[in-house]
Amino acid sequence: MDLLNTLVDKGLRRELPTREEALAVLATSDDDVLDVVAAAGKVRRKWFGRRVKLNYLVNLKSGLCPEDCSYCSQRLGSKADILKYTWLKPEQASQAAAAGLAGGAKRVCLVASGRGPTDRDIDRVAGTIKAIKDENEGVEVCACLGLLSDGQAERLREAGADAYNHNLNTSEATYGDITTTHTYADRVDTVSKAHAAGLSACSGLIAGMGESDEDLVDVVFSLRELDPDSVPVNFLIPMEGTPLAAEWHLTPQRCLRILAMVRFVCPDVEVRIAGGREVHLRTMQPLALHLANSIFLGDYLTSEGQAGRTDLEMIADAGFEVEGADELTLPEHRVTAGGGCGSHGEADAGCGSHGDAGCGSHEGGGVCGTAAPAAAAPAANEARTDLVAVRRRGAGTDLAPNA
């Protein structure tokens, strides 16, 4: 169709689509979804080939957050039965990170719940960064600690952090509907502080919170203006005990259209499929690799992802390859233009984990190393609570992590 040909041409030239074109991608029918994936896949391959970057989350401090983000299981007043613990010691965090790196991860995302770090917290994280980098030469480290005060981004950079993640999550117009304890402008300010300090900025969104197509386009265009090196795309995991527990609006086809729209608007940026891919994309996850060039390996912050081994098999079976530690993630023009960690430390999802501290990943489902029982095919938009499992292993526990 003419729309897709136009968007491919623009993506290959790094030209911004119009808002109307972005909205038209989201409005395409399920019958056309493979055409949409094929078109956006041409843009993805132009700038990132068939490489898939692996990222690994370490939740440094879980739960007990004073913020009221409706999507987050660690929020103020959350009744979600998640792990709750205070700061991991540097050696504990390094041990947790080692599992993900052994599984092929190139970046470690250090996340801590809370409004933002104190200066003492920055010292703690600095010690953790040093412990991880002392044990793993060339590893990228992204911090995701909430809202930053003046000077804190510079201190993290001096401590060896390569990137900082802070997601916008949704459009400015609807931000007050999901959070009241801080503002959209606060989030933009933190991303700007990271940029100014020389950190690779990572900022993304959460889809599936009841937003409109216009809201999705608004937040992605706002991200394009902020120019992060990586954009994590989370799909809401409706966790029991949170205000959005009943929000089950996404289908696999809808998720693919959202990822395609993000790729067309951000053609040469690391697009990461973050939390919720197992829950909402399900058996169509391999198609999403034609749109995004980055994923999280294993578990998320407070929920479990599919087995790390399954992630690696999925990448290989789909004809993609894991990006090596010596390969550039970002295209050369972004690296040479000062786009941050394009070589040994781009930005994700930073973290790109969802919710919880806003790190770019959201949450996930599945149990490592076990086969899920057979289930009847779900109806469209049916709640798949069988795919949502609270994390009970890895960081903050005595059990081995999933990687």
The helix/strand count (H/E) of the chain reads as: 14, 10
Question: Which position among 202, 266, 341, 359 bears the catalytic label?
Answer: 202
Is residue 202 part of the annotated active site? The answer reads yes
All domains in the chain, ordered by first residue? 2-368+378-387 (3.20.20.70)
> Residue 205's pLDDT is what?
98
C-alpha–C-alpha distance, residues 277 and 296, integer Å: 10
> Residue 338's pLDDT is what?
59
Binning pLDDT at 50, 70 and 90, where does residue 270 land? very high
> Residue 380's pLDDT is what?
56
Question: Which position among 75, 107, 109, 255 bears the catalytic label?
Answer: 109
Q: How many Å from the N-terminal Cα to the C-terminal Cα in the chain?
A: 41
C-alpha–C-alpha distance, residues 135 and 314, integer Å: 29
Task: Provide the percentage of residues in the chain whose pLDDT is more than 70.
Answer: 89
What are the φ/ψ torsions at residue 267 (nearest 5 degrees)?
A: -65, -35
Residues 232-242: tens digit of each pLDDT? 999 999 988 88
Residues 49-78: tens digit of each pLDDT? 999 999 999 999 988 888 889 888 888 777
> Residue 386's pLDDT is what?
83
Residues 288-309: tens digit of each pLDDT? 999 999 999 988 887 788 999 9
Instruction: Give the C-alpha distances (Å, rounded to integers) separating 337 from 13, 87, 272, 306, 320.
Output: 16, 36, 21, 37, 27
Instruction: Give the C-alpha distances (Å, rounded to integers) separating 175 from 60, 135, 261.
Output: 26, 40, 21
Residues 9-49: tens digit of each pLDDT? 999 999 999 999 999 999 999 999 999 999 999 999 999 99
Question: Which position among 44, 69, 351, 359 bears the catalytic label?
Answer: 69
Strand partners, 205: 169, 233
Residues 323-348: tens digit of each pLDDT? 998 999 999 999 877 544 433 333 33
Binning pLDDT at 50, 70 and 90, where does residue 171 land? very high
Binning pLDDT at 50, 70 and 90, where does residue 139 land? very high
Let me know the angle formed at the C-alpha of 233 by 384 and 236, rounded to the nearest 5 degrees: 30
C-alpha–C-alpha distance, residues 321 and 235, integer Å: 24
**Do residues 184 and 151 touch, judged by C-beta distance below 8 A?**
no
Residues 70-115: tens digit of each pLDDT? 888 888 777 877 878 899 999 999 999 999 999 999 999 999 989 9
Is residue 255 part of the annotated active site? The answer reads no
C-alpha–C-alpha distance, residues 26 and 18, integer Å: 13
Question: Which position among 51, 65, 263, 351 bears the catalytic label?
Answer: 65
Strand partners, 72: none
Question: Which position among 51, 124, 142, 341 bears the catalytic label?
Answer: 142
Is residue 359 part of the annotated active site? The answer reads no
Question: Which position among 44, 254, 257, 272 bears the catalytic label?
Answer: 272
Is residue 144 part of the annotated active site? The answer reads no
DSSP string, 234-265: EE----TTSTTTT-----HHHHHHHHHHHHHH
Q: Between 350 and 197, whose confidence is greater?
A: 197
Question: Which position among 44, 51, 72, 257 bears the catalytic label?
Answer: 72
